[in-house]
């Protein structure tokens, strides 16, 4: 899907959506309708499609007992106000990325992506089996919310740049779109960092308001059209090694649901975490081939070593600040994350990495 077609689609039906948003949730003959607001454009590859599929699967699995109406970014509320819509009870669900709300609670960053941190499989293991969900619940309890992992992109790309990077000096003062703790890392390295929603990035690059941007990876980035402005694409990110999306629900309303509907929401989110990851794994390589072969993009497999090393040092600083200087709950989150990471990396680096190195070196077909 190209940028023009999905952006055109995302603009359709705004009036109807706005009218729908004024209605209260429908409850008739034991059936409930909930509204999900998202941070993604309508029909957006991987993420927007995943949010819609999640809503549809809840509706189908409950046999319509719980119907989820999905509103794309801007149809009901602006993309970066999705969580607030659930807090103020104008919607029952939001679909986005937890690090978008770091200004509400710094600990939320750990449930999206941490520079040099957990891969997608490690993150799911921490949340599901090593205490992460319980800490996440503590954070969102402050706002009357419940969060679930709802999707995963795998390791993201490093970003789009108008010129090739040769060293750390090239990013000094660079106006760069990148969110979360990764944004803090790039800022410590000398970039001027901002966060923009997906649909706003292209225009900012085109106008010169941004010099560079990272979003997700080839599958999304091809649709967003960044290649029309930037031709240098760094295909491995050190700031988002396993980015997760979240579904957030009004906790009181969730707990008031019958147990079977609570279970359906939880189980569908878990299934979609894996389904979205598979979607990206299948389509990122094909989209990258299109960017390179049809649009003249230069794909760089890694950043210059000076940038990676500086990024690692900055990431250590950011994590140290959160572990030592954050509020009590942020410190608790950071400590749990680091403890789990140190445990799981013994498998990831001691087993998975060894296999990948051997496959790369010896096995081609």
Q: What is the pLDDT of residues 131-157, one digit of tens each?
A: 999 999 999 999 999 999 999 999 999
Packing angle, helices 328-347 and 305-325, rounded to 10: 130
pLDDT of residue 10: 44
Indicate the pLDDT class of residue 28, thresholds 50, 70 and 90.
Answer: very low
pLDDT value, residue 18: 40
Contact partners, residue 325, CB within 8 Å, separation at least 6: none
**pLDDT-derived band at 356, boundaries 50, 70, 90:** very high
Average confidence (pLDDT) over 62-82? 97
Residue 322 region, left (φ>0) first, then alpha (ψ -120 to 50), else beta?
alpha
**How much is the pLDDT for 30?**
77
Q: How many CB atoms lie within 10 A of CB 79?
A: 21
Residues near 298 by beta carbon (within 8 Å), at least 6 away in sequence: 164, 231, 232, 233, 292
Per the model's pLDDT, the better-predicted residue between 4 and 263 turns out to be 263
Domains of the chain: 3-152+243-282 (3.40.190.170)
Please name the helix (run of DSSP H) or strand (run of DSSP E) that holds residue 3, with its range, or none.
Answer: helix 3-11
Element (H or E) spanning 312, and its range?
helix 305-325
Distance CA 231, CA 356 (A): 29
pLDDT in tens, 37-47: 999 999 999 99
pLDDT in tens, 233-270: 999 999 999 999 999 999 999 999 999 999 999 999 99
Average pLDDT over the chain reads 93
10-19, 125-134, 229-238, 296-305: least confident range = 10-19
């Amino acid at each position: 899907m190209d940028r023009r077609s999905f952006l055109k689609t995302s603009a359709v039906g705004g009036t109807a959506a706005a009218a729908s948003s004024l209605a209260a949730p429908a409850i008739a003959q034991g059936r409930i309708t909930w509204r999900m607001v998202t941070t993604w454009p309508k029909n957006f590859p991987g993420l927007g499609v995943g949010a819609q599929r999640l809503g549809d699967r809840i509706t189908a699995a409950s046999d319509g007992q719980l119907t989820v109406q999905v509103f794309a970014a801007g149809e009901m509320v602006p993309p970066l106000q999705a969580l607030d819509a659930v807090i103020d009870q104008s919607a029952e669900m939001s679909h986005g990325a937890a690090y978008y709300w770091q200004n509400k609670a710094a600990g939320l960053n750990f449930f999206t992506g941490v520079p040099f941190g957990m891969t997608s499989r490690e993150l799911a293991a921490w949340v599901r089996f090593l205490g992460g969900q319980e800490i996440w619940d503590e954070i969102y309890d402050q706002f009357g919310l419940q969060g679930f992992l709802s999707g995963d992109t795998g390791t993201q790309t490093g970003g789009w740049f108008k010129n090739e990077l040769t060293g750390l000096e090239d990013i000094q003062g660079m106006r760069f779109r990148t969110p979360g703790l990764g944004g803090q890392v790039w800022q410590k390295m000398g970039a001027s960092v901002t966060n923009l929603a997906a649909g706003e990035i292209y225009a900012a690059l085109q106008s010169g308001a941004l010099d560079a941007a990272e979003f997700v990876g080839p599958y999304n980035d091809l649709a967003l059209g960044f290649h029309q402005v930037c031709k240098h694409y760094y295909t491995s990110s050190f700031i988002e090694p396993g980015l997760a999306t979240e579904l957030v629900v009004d906790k009181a309303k969730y707990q008031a649901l019958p147990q079977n509907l609570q279970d359906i929401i939880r189980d569908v989110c878990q299934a979609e975490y894996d389904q979205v990851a598979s979607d990206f794994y299948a389509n990122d390589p094909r989209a990258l081939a299109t960017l390179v072969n049809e649009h003249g993009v230069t794909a760089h497999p890694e950043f210059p070593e000076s940038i990676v090393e500086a990024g690692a040092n900055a990431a250590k600083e950011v994590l140290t600040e959160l572990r030592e200087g954050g509020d009590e709950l942020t410190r608790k989150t950071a400590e749990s994350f680091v403890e789990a990471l140190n445990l799981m990396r013994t498998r990831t680096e001691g087993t998975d990495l060894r296999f990948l190195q051997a496959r790369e070196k010896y096995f081609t077909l």
